[in-house]
Structure 1
Amino acid sequence: MIPSFPHYTGPYQVGSIDIEIPVSELESPVSTPSDASDIRTVLVRVFYPATSESQDRNVYWLPSPQRQSLSAYARFVGLGPAAASIVSFIPRHTHYTKIPAHKNAATFASPLASDGRWPTAIFSHGLAGCRNSYSYIAGSLASHGVIVFCPEHRDGSAILTMVRNPSARARRFPNWWGTAEMRLYLDIGHEVTAGTFKARDRQLRIRLWELGLVHSLIIAIDRGQKLSNLKTSARSLDQFADKMDVHRPGKMVFMGHSFGAASIVQFIKSVYYANSPALKGLADPLFTPHRDSNLCAQITHENVVILLDMWCLPLFDPSTTALLELPLPAYDNVRGAPGGKAILAVDSEQFVKWSEHFHATARIVSKRPGQRVVSQEDFVNQATGAKMDPARFFWVHGSAHMNQSDFCVLFPWLTKKMFKAGHPEQVLRLNLRAQLQVLRENGVVVAETSAKDRVDDEREDANNRSSSHGSARASVDGEPELGHENNCTRLSYDNTIFDMPDTIKAWGRVDIFGMGAESANFGRKTDGAKPMSNSASDQGTSATTSTNGGQGDLEISQETLAQQISV
């Protein structure tokens, strides 16, 4: 049986396109990192709302070259090179698995905004991922009216990536021979050593540079700039001109999973605090963009940041302590700062049970990360005296680190047996609901939440049903009319996901106040903490959490966690 995805639940069809652009054609906000001089292109997969008549063929989930990609995954799970090569030749259903998005489909102007522009997000993948690994999350957001750019990082963290030579032309079959360099996953390990921190910093410098280039790519596409897309079978990029809400400061959304979430934290902070006196002491900053760049103009205290099962270890490098201790921009002491309302963190139960890491995450998403214990008294905007909310921090009972990627929904039996990753569709439903609602709460207009995504609710909130706040009910040229279903089937404002988590099965809220004492050393600080470890605790956490609907406890071994962080 061929592994398959459930259908997206938003009202829009979804299109997808591969884009690979020479670095030389993009404006970079920083100089090329020394370890990235041979990275000549930027590669992204884009998910976007498509016209209702789109009938183009679907996108294959396993990236090309498929045999080599399958072999790379086989090596990753422990097979030797010879065995992995043999496995890659065996008839395989995975080769025919398709993403439920139409390849190179036509897009259209947003009916939800007066200027026709769609909200736009960048999603950074985790270790051993690629541009397709989170296609269900990205496609689900696209079906609700968000354009999502998923870069494939070339820092050695992708399971496999092909770096094209822009000046080379294909002369043989397959078409990548002689035109691209194959790069396999670089196994650095998870030991807490100076060598590990140095290696992860090298990767972060490349990742942050790439994220800056992706932002430049988005700006260039929206402005209608002519670019050389090396993915020659793709539709013209002209259709995206003037359709993305990317020029107004603070409007882009930044997302990531695991190492990708850590990358987003370092990226957002590095841009927002570029040339800040607080960072003057950094001997070798990860990323310092020009203050007059488009990127610095975009990232403000208003950008929504979504962190899925963030892997914190790379943030603890003693050489970047000054950056670690600065809060996410939403907490800055400036007028209009939204505080934690603009920050969504969703953890797996596996990471919740890794107690010291869980407490470290609470500190990182707090207003004063440098404080040993998160204090409610610190959540005050010093510029206005107004109280600030903490980050929207939740977890899913019975979930594993891998659950927010595509792997669990495609291979549920295998991932449950190997990683104890249960209830894959439920985990993705709950994540999507939270993502849509954090966007709504920050003024990002998206389509309503479907009843199909609310099946985990034990009761429906009558106030929610009748709410018209954030409603989207427009149509153009035969495109879907959002809200054409009655209020019993779609919600325009799903506040239950944040305000009443106890009424939702398997969904728990994390109260970060009082947390942090069990976290590891913060960079150079010793403040009584133990050194950061690379394993999960199989003990329960003392943090205040709540959930509804038991699904069995996870027991976590060091070997399982180390492998899961890399998926």
Structure 2
Amino acid sequence: MTYLLSRLSPIPYFPSYKGPYEVGTIDLEIPVSQFVDEGLSPQCPSHSNIPTIQFRIFYPAALKGEATGTQGANWIPSPRKEYVAAYCRFAGASEFLANVLSYIPRHLYYIQIPAYANHNILGFPSKFPVVVFSHGLGGTRNTYSYITASLAAHGCVVFCPEHRDGSAPATFIREPTRKSGLAELLKNTENEPPKIEIDGIPQTPSSSGSDCEEGSAGNSSQDEKEKPQTDGSSESKDEKSKKDKTYTSKRKGITRRRIDYISQAHEISPVTAATRNKQLEIRLWELGVLYVVVQKLEQGWREEDIDEDLYLTGVKKVNDIYRLLKMFEGRLDVASPGSITWTGHSFGAATTTQFVKSCWYTPLFKQNGDLKEPLYVPSEYLLQHLHPDGTIGKTSKPPGTVLLDTWCLPLLGDRTRVMWKLPIPGPTVGVFSQQFFKWKENLRGFRHVMNRKGGAVESEWFKEAQAEEDKAPTISLPTKNEAAKDENLPQIHKLGRTSSLDVTPQLPTGFRQGDETKVNEGESTDTTISEPEEDAEALSLKRTQSRKSQLSIPGQPDRRFYYVAQSAHMSQSDFGILFPTSTKYLLGVDDSEAVLDLNVRAITEFLRESGKGVAGYGEEERDGEIFGDGVVKGWELVDLEQGDEGLKKDEGLKKAEDIVAEAKKKREETKPESKEGGARL
């Protein structure tokens, strides 16, 4: 009955999570000054002023059907009207139009995450594996709730920060009253370097003031209580569209600052890279602070650290806040080196890549002093988590990483160049949407990310763009039609698909899947190469087995790379599953839930492989199919071979033609002769 009612309701809804546990969630904002004072975290980057960290936690709450209380946490954070307006601005609406539109889709205010807000954590097992998830451009702490809550439904505790670097549509900072540590933090902003400008517009997060009391779950009338008041301060010409306003709640009167989204073209140039690096610098610092929070929760949150500056959505009593924070004491599996799994989507995947590398290689750079202007230097407290002896040695252990639709551009700036050339230290799984898989320039970059030797060879497309900044190409995602169209490969016979969603080109023997990029960038070639007459499924299994041989090399961490057929970049967020009709017709994604479930299966099985205590898949202890040799609908293994990435376009085409010609020659030489001496037809 509940399912039928949800189908009739105009309010978008989430399906139930597949794991064996009900999911609990709490939403927190915590001041960082105490961690700075204790030397557990460096101060925030000098070009920003971020006194708090905001994040949501998902965790197992009870066995399925045994949770108590009311299920549902607001998917659009409060102040909901402000967030809806921010998404309208993110989509291209003006400030005025966005404010008007924010009143229209009122039903969106009531979208609920099917998790129990402020529920007690599950009483068993004794420890839960910890995952940190970093969102991408246009994301918030709630935007990937289906993936992150599904991980909690399988037995993980998942931390989802909301980044204050200008990548969220908007985010709101509650100004803390606690002054300890803030004076020095504010002093750093006085000598702030000149802001990068593009077309005369500062490319840093705005500090347009906006404050509102964040209502508790279910308090839908709170947004109407907030009234704007201009503070009379002067505004620059460039900031007319981002007026400095103060929103005061009638109930509390708590001041909050709004940080708006930074609109930046996806152009490969030093200016773009520098701007993204400034954002990345904030993101890395926030992940470092979040690590401290995780350890503090495991050790047991101190009662004296709970005051008016620590905000937990929907909870007002100090005793209740203390109880909810205290329930994580001794329950998080974070004591051993590298025990936390770091994940992210798009810009968040780039953030995860840079963060893990920074934490792993910092002892090396401290010894030789090669790292100039680092984006992030972890505190000693964080470094000891990976390197108990203070250096990269036998006791060190790198963390596992899961990278979803990694956006490589933020990793190609001058300040990230050193880390770019170094490999990710631990086991890694990359999962792309089909749309990102068809983005050839980014695909090459990600193959460098996954290379066990690191990105030692810079991609030619970036070097050319650097040399000719005024002619830098606009790198954009493929359109719906471009991402869905079949590849025009030099062959006339194509085998049956390994699945109904399979769009992976079936390549001639000896032709690596990584080489299709060099063929598809030039003119289509019409040759008469045919595949051997062999069963399609048998050939698919052989290809899978041959590619799997790359995954395990003695002494080297595992690397896995897949893409999901018929999926778009947004498919790994909640938007596809909440708005399936729009996603189907605008982006060509037929089944958003199936796409997300493949991502969840990959992450949970990766955690099981890493020895984490994660619930099994269905009735099985392990998910043998997702990384196995068989066929999983829509799940395509990608070759990690980089091919000849550094070659020019024409040279790449010539190389591909040579490979094709050699394959043809070998087949001609091995054709069986008839008894009469003639060639068989």
The answer to whether the superposition gives a TM-score over 0.5 is yes
Indicate the SS of the match to 1:15. strand
TM-score (norm 2): 0.64
Does residue 194 of structure 1 match 2:270?
yes
- Deviation of residue 160 (structure 1)? 1.2
The residue number in structure 2 matching 1:416 is 584
Q: Is the contact between residue 289 and residue 296 of structure 1 (CA under 8 Å) also seen in structure 2?
A: no
2:133/2:343 contact within 8 Å kept: yes
2:376 pairs with one of 287, 305, 329: 287
TM-aligned CA deviation for residue 232 of structure 1: 5.8
SS in 1 for 2:102: helix
CA shift for structure 1 position 25: 2.1
Of 2, 25, 37, which residue of structure 2 is paired with 1:16?
25
Q: 1:221 Cα deviation (Å)?
A: 1.4
In structure 2, give the amino acid aligned to 1:97.
Answer: I
Match of 1:304 among 400, 404, 408: 400
The residue number in structure 2 matching 1:553 is none
Q: 1:48 is matched with which residue: 59, 72, 90?
A: 59
1:143 aligns with 2:224: no
* Aligned positions of 1:367-406 closer than 5 A: 367-372=452-457, 386=554, 388=556, 390-406=558-574
Instruction: State whether structure 2 residue 415 is matched by structure 1 residue 323.
Output: no
Cα distance between partner residues in 2 of 1:390 and 1:108: 32
Who is 1:506 aligned against? Answer: 634
Whole-Å separation in 1 of the counterparts to 2:97 and 2:156? 41
- Amino acid in the other structure paired with 2:16: H
Q: How has the CA–CA distance of structure 1 residues 280 and 323 changed in structure 2, closer, same or farther, with 3 Å as cutoff? A: farther
Deviation at 1:127, TM superposition (A): 0.6
Instruction: Please say if 1:425 is aligned against 2:593.
Output: yes
**What SS does structure 1 have at the residue aligned with 2:604?**
helix
Secondary structure class of the residue paired with 1:498 = coil
Counterpart of 2:167 in 1: which secondary structure? coil
1:120-519 alignment runs, 5 A limit: 120-167=130-177, 173=249, 178-226=254-302, 227-228=305-306, 229-231=310-312, 233-234=314-315, 235=321, 236-277=324-365, 280-290=369-379, 292-298=380-386, 300-330=396-426, 342-372=427-457, 386=554, 388=556, 390-450=558-618, 490-500=619-629, 502-513=630-641, 515-518=642-645
**CA contact 1:119–1:147 (8 Å) conserved in 2:** yes
Who is 2:536 aligned against? none
Alignment of 1:84-123 (within 5 A): 84-111=98-125, 116-123=126-133
Measured in 1, the distance between the counterparts of 2:588 and 2:251 equals: 39
Measured in 1, the distance between the counterparts of 2:440 and 2:99 equals 39
User: How far apart, CA to CA, are the structure 2 residues paired with 1:367 and 1:217?
Assistant: 31
Aligned-residue Cα RMSD (Å) equals 2.7
Is contact 2:23–2:116 with CA below 8 Å preserved after alignment?
yes
The 1:516/1:33 distance shift into structure 2, 3 A limit, reads: farther
Given that 1:215 and 1:295 are in contact with CA atoms closer than 8 Å, whether structure 2 keeps it comes out as no
Residues 254 and 392 of structure 1, relative CA distance in 2, 3 Å threshold: same
Partner AA of 1:105 in structure 2: H
Which of 31, 45, 70 aligns to 1:33? It is 45
Kindly tell me: are residues 517 and 301 of structure 1, through their superposed partners in 2, closer, same or farther at Cα, counting changes over 3 Å? farther
Tell me which stretches of 4 or more aligned residues in structure 1 moved more than 6 Å. Answer: 168-171, 373-376, 378-381
How far did residue 79 of structure 1 move? 2.0
Task: Report SS of the residue matched to 2:30.
Answer: strand
Q: CA deviation at 1:371?
A: 4.4
Please tell me whether the aligned partners of residues 360 and 398 of structure 2 are also in contact (alpha carbons under 8 angstroms).
no
Native 8 Å contact 1:408 1:424 kept in 2? yes
The answer on whether the counterparts of 1:367 and 1:379 sit within 8 Å (CA) in structure 2 is no
Q: How far did residue 296 of structure 1 move?
A: 3.9
Matches within 5 A, 1:529-540: none
Mapped to 2, the partners of 1:279 and 1:8 lie a distance apart of: 49
Structure 1 residue 364 displacement after superposition: 0.7
Partner of 1:558: none
For the Cα contact (< 8 Å) 1:247–1:298, is it kept in 2? no
Q: Aligned partner of 1:193: which letter?
A: S
Letter of the aligned partner of 1:508 in structure 2?
Answer: E
Q: Contact (CA 8 Å) 1:141, 1:148: kept in 2 or not?
A: yes
Give the Cα separation in 2 of the matches to 1:42 and 1:77.
26
Q: Give 2:422's aligned amino acid.
A: L
Note the C-alpha offset of 1:441.
0.8
Q: Secondary structure at the match of 2:20?
A: coil
CA deviations 1:433-473 (Å, max 9, x no partner) are 111111111111211112xxxxxxxxxxxxxxxxxxxxxxx
Given the alignment of the two structures, is residue 80 of structure 1 paired with residue 94 of structure 2, yes or no? yes
Amino acid at match of 1:149: F
Distance in 1 between residues matched to 2:602 and 2:276, nearest whole Å: 30
1:517 to partner: Cα distance: 2.9
- Equivalent position of 2:390 in the other structure: none
Q: Give the greater-gyration-radius structure (CA).
A: 2
* Change in CA separation of 1:8 and 1:426 when aligned onto 2, cut-off 3 Å: same
TM score, norm. by length of structure 1: 0.76
Where structure 2 has 5 or more consecutive residues not aligned to the other structure, the ranges are 1-9, 179-211, 214-246, 316-320, 388-395, 460-513, 516-546, 650-658, 660-681
Identity of aligned residues (%): 39
Equivalent residue, structure 2, for 1:533: none
Shift of 1:529: 5.7
Shift of 1:516: 4.7
Native 8 Å contact 1:10 1:143 kept in 2: yes
Contact 2:551 2:558 in 1 (8 A): no
1:332-369 alpha-carbon deviations (Å, 9 max, x no partner) = xxxxxxxxxx2111001111111121122112112012
Distance 1:86 1:289 in 2: 44
CA 1:363–1:55 in 2, change beyond 3 Å: closer, same or farther? Answer: same
Counterpart among 62, 68, 73 of residue 76 in structure 2: 62
Paired residue for 1:4, among 13, 25, 39? Answer: 13
Counterpart code for 1:399: S
Q: 1:24 and 1:516 mapped to 2: Cα distance?
A: 48
Quick check: 1:67–1:88 contact (8 Å CA) kept in 2? yes
| Structure 1 residue runs without a partner (length 5+) | 331-341, 451-489, 519-526, 531-542, 544-567
